[in-house]
Structure 1
């Protein structure tokens, strides 16, 4: 009897340790890692080459002065309001803005209209500051997960550092060929990249993880 019991227990233990665990893919990717993780193994990704980096951000109306004489219209044709000419110019370049009343708007370039949103919109994705990038979809497929070793360890603030992982969430009329455009959220986040020596127009290595 004891022999049979031992065989059963041994079989259960063997099955448990020999069966591979199935890890579910998280719905929301980690924004940052703390403490700083071990650098992602480059063997996990496919090297895509060097890409020139640029940055875009949410334009904040509160920092613009001047006469409010340029109209912006919603998708349904209703007037959103009148705004300073420089604000409208920058908004149409960056495609996202925060109004004085706190609302977030996205620019619909093909329609030359505005949409009120809860979060900045990319091309079929909602944008995450310091994680979403705009790409040329002929070079990098939208939705791809990318690793940029040049940015691994970049200090976000006193306690947090970047894990070097980004997501292809957007496209841009100026993003053609081997270029990537990092979404900063607000412009003040640019100082983190400046402090790390990541400047507009410099080349960074890009790896495709998925």
Structure 2
């Protein structure tokens, strides 16, 4: 997943021979985005709510619909990474004024992207968007959050095999992202139960119990 700061700096540098001074809103928004993502994925709802409000407020100060759309899509993306497939309601009022890339990303997260839109996505997601399924679609995705987002879309579109679930669970576990860990362990447990693998399912449920314990 491309961070807003990385995206904007790339645009700024493309039109300037010298490294520009980063605008205050951009620095503030980048920090808030990072804190929001970590808090949400870890299940710290109060912190996540406050940081997202700060993130969106900083971006909205630019009056640029595509940037605000990107902020809303960040929220939708971390939800997909945690297997919350709620509609991306924050983005839809901005769709008309968003760029083609933002609309493609929104459709990708919703699991309904058209093949011709795949080229508008960052490289990590193009295989999934192009119809690739299974664990092979996650190979080469080094960023943990991007890997979880891709895995979430695979599950949403019924193209996730057991190795996808394991890779996503391991990724969330390595990062200590409690909400995501619980979600992916639950998905693994449900699949094991449907397959009649009762001992495996019980082990996964025990791991979920550990993750649910308060620090």
TM-score interval, smaller chain: under 0.3
Asked which structure has the greater RCO (Cα within 8 Å, sep 6+), the reply is 1
| Higher-helix-fraction structure | 2
| Higher-strand-fraction structure | 1
